[in-house]
Amino acid sequence: MNGQIMPSLEDLAAKIARMVEERGWNQEEFARHTGLNRQTVRQILLRNGGRRLRNGTISRCAKALGLSVNELRSLPLERLLTRVNAITSADCDALLRRLYNSATQPELLAWLERNPERARQLSPEEIDELLSVQGTGGPLTRIGVERYVEIVERKRKLIQEVHVVAGTEYLELLEKFVGVLYEKVQPYRERIG
């Protein structure tokens, strides 16, 4: 194809694994970003040459990494790493700037100064949530920024774990368990709503 040698599927899996490593994602995080089940992700990241990568799998991996399938297949690893790092850094910097610029509560600003690495881990939705609960008498004032961020981080981890379990044979059990819990909290939600 245009004089380019297409990488073997083993080489492609190795590229993907290296870029995921560069992003700092673990298996669960990569599974969440791609929507792939944990077993598929594990085989890709362990560079298991015995598994054939389907086009849909390659497409999901490329999208999660902010690349096109063609870029993932054809660009050398060094160039891909430069692109992935630039995309990640630019996105992260823009989100952090937005958080710093929109934070009005002194405690939140102080937390951001003390915890830049944890702040970088916040998703756009989590940043929106933090910004929405600022103000006198709000949750950041009542329970403190550190405690609130810990709750946000716990929710993130729980959602990642639920995504992993949902991709297994335990989906039906998970549905039942969540259904029972949901019924339990529904009256509480209606009372405070």
Q: Which two tokens stand for residue 20?
A: 């995921």
pLDDT recorded at residue 6? 42
Interior angle at CA 51, CA 45 and CA 56, nearest 5 = 80
pLDDT for the residue 24: 78
> Rounded CA gap, 11 and 6, in Å?
10
Q: Indicate if the alpha-carbon torsion angle 19, 25, 28, 30 is positive or negative.
A: negative
Q: Any residues with CB less than 8 A from the CB of 139 and at least 6 apart, and which?
A: 133, 148
How many whole angstroms separate alpha carbon 149 and alpha carbon 155? 10
Largest CA distance in the chain: 67
The amino acid occupying position 167 is G
Distances in Å between the Cα of 21 and the Cα atoms of 69, 101, 172 are 19, 31, 32
CATH superfamily, domain 1-102, is lambda repressor-like DNA-binding domains (1.10.260.40)
Digits of tens for pLDDT over the chain (193 positions)?
A: 443 434 555 678 888 988 888 887 888 889 888 989 888 898 888 865 556 788 889 999 988 888 888 888 888 888 888 776 666 666 677 888 888 888 888 889 889 889 888 888 888 889 989 999 988 888 888 899 999 999 999 999 998 888 888 888 999 999 999 999 999 888 765 665 5
The residue ranges of every structural domain in the chain are: 1-102, 103-193
